[in-house]
Structure 1
Amino acid sequence: MFPEYRDLITRLKTEGTNHRFLHLFEKHNQLDHKISSLESHDAGGIHTEIETLKKEKLHIKDELYSLLRSEAAASK
């Protein structure tokens, strides 16, 4: 995710000072794992749940991108 910000992501995770970023990053990873698990066992009945989780994950990814852009601009 966001290869252009790989170093910044590593720094933010290591420093641990941006709590919003850490929370969103962890939530994104949790959703990713949950979606993968549901997709591997999908019998068709949970399609709506998967789509809802994917939308939530995308929203979080958008917010993470916004935070990364702000952090990158502040670092210049």
Structure 2
Amino acid sequence: MSHVPHELHEEFPEAIETLRALKAGDAHFSRLADEYHTINREVHRIETNVEPAADEVLEDLKKKRLHLKDQIAALLAAAANTAS
């Protein structure tokens, strides 16, 4: 398994401009993106053994990251629908 960080611009390459606009103009989105980034970095550090942790800790962080990604995806979809 490759241990590649899951950055938002890589997860949503088609929405890079929307990501930037929402992060700059929507405090809630910005908070979600910042939290995603923090958890994502922690997952990456654990997966690359920079910061070892128990499997349960890693799985919990991955679930949190996925939940945040789902929320971010919903906000991106809503923004795309209002822009259309």
TM-score (norm 1): 0.84
Unaligned runs of 5+ in 2: 1-10
Structure 2 residue corresponding to 1:59, chosen from 60, 64, 67:
67
Task: Give the total of aligned pairs.
Answer: 73
- Give the number of the structure with larger relative contact order, counting CA–CA contacts within 8 Å between residues 6 or more apart: 1
> CA-atom RMSD, angstroms?
1.6
Say which of 18, 21, 31 aligns to 1:23: 31
Q: Who is 2:17 aligned against?
A: 7
Q: Which of structure 1's runs of 4+ aligned residues deviate more than 3 A? A: none
Larger Rg: 1
After TM superposition, give the deviation of residue 40 of structure 1 in Å.
Answer: 2.2
Identity of aligned residues (%): 26
Higher helix share: 1
Which 5+ residue runs of structure 1 have no aligned equivalent? none
